[in-house]
Every structure is written in C-alpha cells, then in structure tokens.
Amino acid sequence: MLDKSIIRKLEKIVGRENMTTEKSDLICYAFDATQQRFLPDVALYPQSAAEISDILKLANAEKIPVVPRGSGSGFSGGSLPTMGGIALVLRRMDKILEIDEENMLAVVEPGVVTEVFQQAVEARGLFYPPDPASLKFSSLGGNVAECAGGPRCVKYGVTRDYILGLEVVTPQGDIIHTGGRTMKGVVGYDLTRLMVGSEGTLGVVTKIIIKLLPLPAAKKTMLVVFDSIRGASQAVSDIILGRIIPTTLEFMDSTSIDVVRNATNLSIPERARAILIIEVDGDEELLEKQAERILEIVAPFGVVETRVAKDKAESDDIWKLRRSISPSLRQVNPNKFNEDICVPRSKIPDMILELERISREVGVPIINFGHAGDGNIHVNVMVDLAEEGMQEKVDRALEEIFRATLKLGGTISGEHGIGTTKAPYLGMELNDPTIQYMWIIKKALDPNNILNPGKIFGFSGNE
C-alpha cells in the first residue's frame, strides 16, 4: 500500500481523473495472458513523456516499483506488477503522430493498436509487416518491449527490424532519444536495439519511429496437407533452398489438426499428419509462377492434398483453420501453458518427436503449431490444474521441453520474451557471465531496480 502523501504527489502529476486506487479497477491490470495475478497499488494513465519522467523521478526517489503496461496481452508475465507499486498504463498515448510517405516512415505513440496502425499505413499504400497473433488489441509499445514477431517474419523480419528510433524515459526520469529518421546511423552505441526486446526493464518507450515498406500488390494463399511432419519440414527446407521466401510458412502438427477438425467449413483428410499454410506476396504476375513452383517443390514429400485460394474469401477460410487452434484448445483441458520455443528449421520434426515423447512420459497433452519458416513452435501444454499433482507434471514437462529445445540448438523463447514465466529457466540457455553482463546493464540504468522488477532475472534480480 502506497502512502497517501505519495498518492497525492502522483495525483498532481497526472490529475485525479487519470489515476485509480480502486481495487475493482486495479484488477484489470493484475493479469495478462498467463495464469498469474498480481495487484498494483495504483494505476496511472499518463499522456506525455514529461508526465512519465516526473512519475519515474518520484518512484526512483521513493523506491516504488513501476510496471509499464500496454494491452496486457503478453504470454510471459512481462506486464505483471509482481511487486505491487505503479501500473503505468499507456493507453492514452495512442496517437499516430506522422506518416511520412516520401521517406516511408511513421512516428507513433506506444498505445497505438498494431492493427489500427497497419490499416492506417496501408491506406497510404505502405506496409508494416510484423503481425503478432494479438495484433487486433496489442499495442506497438508492447510489441517493441517484447520484440514481437508473427507469421510474416519469415520473409520480413521482426519488430526490431522496423524500429529506426525511440524516445525513452529512463528509470531515473531522464528523457533520451535513440536512433533517428535515417536508414543508416552509427553514432555511438545502438541504444535502440538495446531497448527493443528489453521487456520494459530499461526504460519506458514514449515515441517510436517506424520504418515502412511499399504495400505488396497482391498475395496468394495455399494450404498443403502432408502425411507426416517430417515431410512437411523437408518441404519447408526445400522451399527456402529453392530461393523462394514466402510471406508466411505456418505449420500445424497432428495434435493441432485434431482440435480444429470441426472448427471450420474446411474438411481435413483423415490421413493428415501435418499442414502447411503458405502465402506469397508481391507483383501479381509473379505470384502464379511462385505458387506453381512451390507446389512442385513440395510434391515429393508425402502431399495428401493441396488447395490454392482463388479469392480473399477462400484465403480467409484457410487462415480461419490456423486461427481456430487457440480458441479450440480449451476442448482438451481448461488450463494452458503456452511456450514459444524456436529451433533450426531442419530440426522441427526432431522437436515434434521430442514433444510427443514428453507428452507420453509426463502424461500431459501437448498441442503444437507455429511458424515453420523460422522454426518457431508454439507449444501448448493443456492440463486441468484441479487434478492433484498436475502442477508438478507441468513443471517437469516445461523443463524437459526447454532441455530438448536447447539440445537441438534452439532457444527457449522466440517472441514472447522471458518475463516471469521463463525467468527460472534463463540459466539453462545463458551462462553466468552472460547473465551478469545483462544484470550490469540493468543496474547501470536502473540502480534502484524500480522499473519492472522481477522480470527476466527472476524475483530476486540477482541482488
């Protein structure tokens, strides 16, 4: 509980109408897409970098935890107020400040919703590729904090590849500017890259300069059904070796196919053991040739059926199959543990076999799908935590999943970040000197550990 004198000081900064201490309101900021809950002491709704600067100066002086928050759609606990304190809600900072068509860039505030921004730039014939599954409600500030990806990153890259510069308020209340409006710039350390993906632990992003691309003229969507995950994986490798980089290369294994059989109008052959959803974009006259070439490449790898969308409606039907997986998972069990491991593309079938083994040995259902083009597998451990001993089974399964991932040369997080959920496993991937160098950076910028404490390094923060 914050002292009343602190509450009065915060009220002077943002105004009484732009803060709340009511428990019924604070509950909204106590959770994200994980199953954890932590209640903040106060939620603030600032509207400028200057207000955030004043908030952080006060919090730093009084040693009050501050947790930046966008839409709260993360899967790793990054926006949870694990130690109470201030939930810094950036929803009022939601303006698209500029779209510069000539230089193909935009300047936005962190609260802009990803899909709203995409639609705004596409109306100008421009394109912002990163497309996390949460794009309809996730904010660009959150995307920057987590370095969000999405299906299109196999061709276009992830959030960090589009951030030219940032305005950031440091944990001690300084307002700094990183990068700029140019495509090149090597003046000093690359603080922009340092901030992108730092999960709100090093600064609060208040302005984002974003690189844009020309909007592709057209796209073509294909669905290919395989009789094995190994065949689908080999098809992915050969498509890339064939010098074709699709916009998306999404896969579903047999476990995810089973949960969506009745979720769409599309019939799925009984022999289906894997599905690839492949999309290409670019000049319309080239797409037909690309699609034909892709179907030629995949043909030897146990193809059961192929479908090429003739129009937007058929494309939407294909994508509905992929989007139906997450909503359908609750058919299996009520509690979901969603991990986002990433392995080299060629290791996807080996990883799927490992996941099947872990599922059998531990005795928990595991549903798998994701971005085959970059080896990013969304692993969903589906359980009923009401069953005795189930949490212990989940813990064992997750640890075995991460060990298998690392053994195959992968990483325990491709796009969700570390947050709180993966903090206990950080040492499995990074050695002690590497973690200590990260902690040195954190302590240098945030000596009092007030900004998003308990994230990445765990609750103790190695203090």
Question: For the segment 411-439, what is each residue's pLDDT rounded down to a tens digit?
Answer: 999 999 999 999 999 999 999 999 999 99
Q: Report the distance separating Cα 159 and Cα 404, nearest Å.
A: 27
Q: CA dihedral defined by 442, 448, 449, 450, rounded to 10 degrees? A: -130
Q: CA dihedral defined by 411, 414, 416, 419, rounded to 10 degrees? A: 30
pTM for the complete prediction? 0.94
What are 116's two structure tokens? 């709203």
pLDDT in tens, the chain (463 residues): 899 999 999 999 999 999 999 999 999 999 998 878 999 999 999 999 999 999 999 999 999 999 999 999 999 999 999 999 999 999 999 999 999 999 999 999 999 999 999 999 999 999 999 999 899 999 999 999 999 999 999 999 999 999 999 999 999 999 999 999 999 999 999 999 999 999 999 999 999 999 999 999 999 999 999 999 999 999 999 999 999 999 999 999 999 999 998 777 778 999 999 999 999 999 988 899 999 999 999 999 999 999 999 999 999 999 989 988 988 998 899 999 999 999 999 999 999 999 999 999 999 999 999 999 999 999 999 999 999 999 999 999 999 999 999 999 999 999 999 999 999 999 999 999 999 999 999 999 999 999 999 999 975 434 4
What DSSP element (H or E) covers 57? Answer: helix 49-62
Compute the residue count for the chain: 463
C-alpha dihedral sign at 114, 120, 122, 128: negative
Alpha-helical regions (H) of 242-366: 254-260, 284-298, 312-323, 325-328, 348-362
